[in-house]
Chains A and B, each alone.
Chain A
């Protein structure tokens, strides 16, 4: 057991306590949380900063509006309904088309208009929000993901998670939905996570349910070595989100739309630690290196260049500090 702790510490594994005590608590001002916890606010803020997000079709704020929502939905063939304060993908319904008056979901099942109304009521009542507070339902553009992911994803929308420390992107992974994750891109729900070479934007090995895998469990295609298009733009967006939210340690979730390019899906003020397994490397050495050079990195371009230079797989890994 002690040997395991020593080895993990040598790799620079960031544990949950250290993430909270050394990064989230000191660097993320609680007053800024609403900006990322409320997806509507995030969306508005991103647009103001010139960062692309999936366009908003409309929203439902009070129960009265639930009856009229179908009028709004009529205008769109496909769309996504999500809670404004949802977490971990709960409460998100992706509609890909229509069957009569009903809606067809991404996983093939059908929703009657009553089902849809009830789902939206549930969102308003706060079932999916943190702390069960009353919530709003957002109806937005359904991302048409880039064909590059088609072979290595099952239903759902793959997204790219980038950890950003004070504006410096430090680690990234792409999360690929599987049959088990029910189209959701959350690792603990069974999605596949593949690490990304920060220098090139090429995928590395993948982790699925705490195991290292080479192929997608549903499609059987190789997951590693896939080059993610618009990688430079993604890093650029990730670096800019720090100026937008002011959160020192955040996880930025991006989707790659075939028409619109990279879009910010959401920002997480308490990003998970599984990204280390997907990349098979610890976060701590990278975080410490970035902190040491922060003073020289004044512009967004500097920060992106720094990330590409130091956090690629072919560049020697930064030395782990000896501090325990």
Chain B
């Protein structure tokens, strides 16, 4: 046929399979090995306060799944409190409430967060407008005067912001700032003033609060940062130094001027955030990730299936690998087997029984089945009834082996039920026909060949690394398909046909 057509097809399949595979490995960082571990963090917020017997309501901003920091799951420990969700400043809130509580109260929020790396930083939604100015009278005048001075020295939004923040931290404070900030201003006060001044300058800005994801920290501070909009994204500034850029492992929790937790009906509110880095098997995350991050390639992976379907596909996807091995064994090596893919099916059942036990049971059943088949041969039965009879005998043999094994306390006997009985029956039939026509030597040769192929297929298919590869990257089967197509046009010699033609070589040499 047209070989060029085949090569084009093979190249296309290989490229498609490999590029999708590489995309997942390099860009999405899907692990190539089943036991690769991933960094993720357990972040916990503990909320303590005192109840005085009044109705209590506590609300807390919840961290949201963002591209770089998908929240894999979260949970609450809230005893008798009712838990609802709410919304403030367009962000999700967890709201605890109770009719009456007295004494020290503790509420927990826990979540598991993964860091996908800096590539995943989102540009963020553009601002809806400039934040409102909340200054009046004298303060307004002072703010305008200060802004005018800073503005005179700045070139653009970024330098303006940086200079503003720096001026807040000068000692002594510039004259105009003293009435605005007062003595010993807090970070919150500085940020509020910065928002006001930037509003006067018509620069959209917001405050972001978050934590630094470090190895382990019990009282992680909630860090507040100033962000100004500079098309196309938000630029963050450290309010203490005026320097731009967020810490590398800063995880934004919520935005806006409000405190993270608001309490009504109690007092002595205390919020503690703790961060702990944990290692999990990377592969358990690929699925979580698909749901958390909106990456299409991961959302539409086999991991999105229910667990029991996943288990089925874990095995099904190995069948092409076994089939490919059989192509190699039959067309390149020249091994003879009963039935084209019978060894793959046998290898599949070896996966369940384990190899030694599987081989023993298989040989036992085939040998017993053959004996019965030879007896039936003397009755001169027609083909279909004879096959049905052998099938019945095979099922009875399997049942008998299971019962016998169980009575003897051998668990091995039970796993015999996992063998595909039709495959066994056809093996017995073909083997006996071959036995009659070509003699026991040829029948045994092909029987051993089949078992050998089954063992080789088993060794490949039981490999957890391979299982992980084809299940996580089913696109690799496209590459396998390409290789199979190529082998379909393999015209070289088969290894086992060489000895047959040895006489030809001798004459010429």
Q: Which A residues form the contact surface with B (CB < 8 A)?
A: 1, 4-5, 7-11, 13, 15-18, 21-22, 25-26, 90, 118, 121-122, 125-127, 132, 188-189, 207, 210-212, 273, 276-277, 280-282
Residues of B within 8 A of A132 (CB): 383
Query: B490 on the interface (CB 8 Å rule)?
Result: yes
- Chain B residues whose C-beta falls within 8 Å of the C-beta of A90 in the assembled complex: 437
The reply to whether B505 and A7 form a contact with Cβ atoms under 8 Å apart is yes
Does B509 interact with chain A (Cβ within 8 Å)? yes
B333-388 CB contacts (< 8 Å) to partner A: 334, 380, 382-384
List the one stretch of B126-134, B300-308, B492-500 in contact with chain A: B492-500
- B492 pairs with A4, CB closer than 8 A: no
Least distance between A255 CB and chain B CB atoms (Å): 22
Measured CB to CB, the nearest residue on chain B to A23 is B491
CB within 8 A of A22: which of B334, B491, B493? B491
Q: Is B502 an interface residue (CB 8 A)?
A: yes
- Given contacts A26-B1, A125-B382, whether A15 and B505 have CB atoms under 8 Å apart is no
A22–B490 alpha-carbon span in the complex (Å): 10
Decide: A21 near B489, CB < 8 A? Known: A118-B380, A126-B383: yes
Partner of A276, one of B438, B498, B502, B504: B504
Q: A26-B1, A118-B380, A122-B380 are in contact. List 13 more A-B contacts (CB 8 A).
A: A5-B492, A8-B498, A8-B501, A11-B505, A13-B501, A17-B494, A21-B489, A21-B491, A126-B383, A127-B383, A132-B383, A273-B501, A280-B503
| Smallest Cβ-Cβ distance to A189: which chain B residue | B438
* Contact between A280 and B490, CB atoms less than 8 A apart: no
Are B498 and A212 touching (Cβ within 8 A)? Answer: no
Closest B-chain residue to A279, C-beta based?
B504
Residues on the B chain within 8 Å of A11, using CB = 504-505, 507-508
User: In the complex, how many residues of chain B place their beta carbon closer than 8 angstroms to a beta carbon of chain A?
Assistant: 27
Contact B492 A280 (CB under 8 A): no
Q: Are B503 and A277 in contact (CB under 8 A)?
A: yes
| In the bound complex, CA of A21 to CA of B269 (Å) | 81
| Residues of chain B contacted by A21 (CB below 8 angstroms) | 488-491
Residue pair A10, B498 in contact (C-beta under 8 Å):
no
Which residues of chain B (453-509) have a CB below 8 Å from chain A? 488-494, 497-498, 500-505, 507-509
The 8 Å CB contact of A17, one of B1, B383, B490, B502, is: B490
B331 interface residue (CB < 8 Å to A): yes
Residues of chain B within 8 A of A211, CB atoms compared: 503
Task: Enumerate chain B residues within 8 angstroms of A125, measured Cβ to Cβ.
Answer: 382-384
A118 to chain B, nearest CB (A): 5
B491, A18: Cβ atoms under 8 Å?
Answer: yes
**Do residues B493 and A8 form an inter-chain contact, with CB atoms below 8 A?**
yes
Complex contact B1–A281 (CB within 8 A): no
Q: For residue A168, give the distance in angstroms from its CB to the closest CB of chain B.
A: 21
Query: Does the CB pair A18–B498 fall under 8 Å?
Result: no
Q: How far is the CB of A119 from chain B (nearest CB, A)?
A: 9
Given A5-B498, A8-B498, A210:B493 Cβ within 8 A: no
A17 vs chain B, min Cβ distance (A): 5
Query: Given A126-B383, A276-B501 in contact, is the A15-B494 Cβ separation under 8 Å?
Result: yes
Q: Which residues 406-441 of B sit at the A interface, judged by CB distance below 8 A? A: 437-438
CB pair B507–A15 under 8 Å, yes or no, is no
Q: Would you call A17 and B492 a contact (CB within 8 A)?
A: yes
Is A16 a contact partner of B494 (Cβ separation < 8 A)?
Answer: yes
Q: Which of these, A7, A22, A207, contacts B509 with CB under 8 Å?
A: A7
B501 with A277: CB separation less than 8 A: yes
Residues of A within 8 A of B503 (CB): 207, 210-212, 277, 280
- Min CB distance B334 to A, Å, is 8
| A121 interface neighbour in B382, B493, B508, Cβ under 8 Å | B382
Question: In the docked arrangement, what's the CA distance between A125 and B382, Å?
Answer: 6
Contacts of A127 in B (CB 8 A): 383
Instruction: Give me 27 A-to-B residue pairs in the complex whose CB atoms sit less than 8 angstroms apart, sorted by A's number.
Output: A7-B508, A7-B509, A8-B501, A8-B505, A9-B493, A10-B508, A11-B507, A13-B493, A13-B501, A15-B492, A15-B493, A15-B497, A16-B494, A17-B492, A17-B493, A18-B491, A21-B488, A21-B491, A26-B1, A122-B382, A125-B382, A127-B383, A188-B438, A273-B501, A276-B501, A280-B504, A280-B507
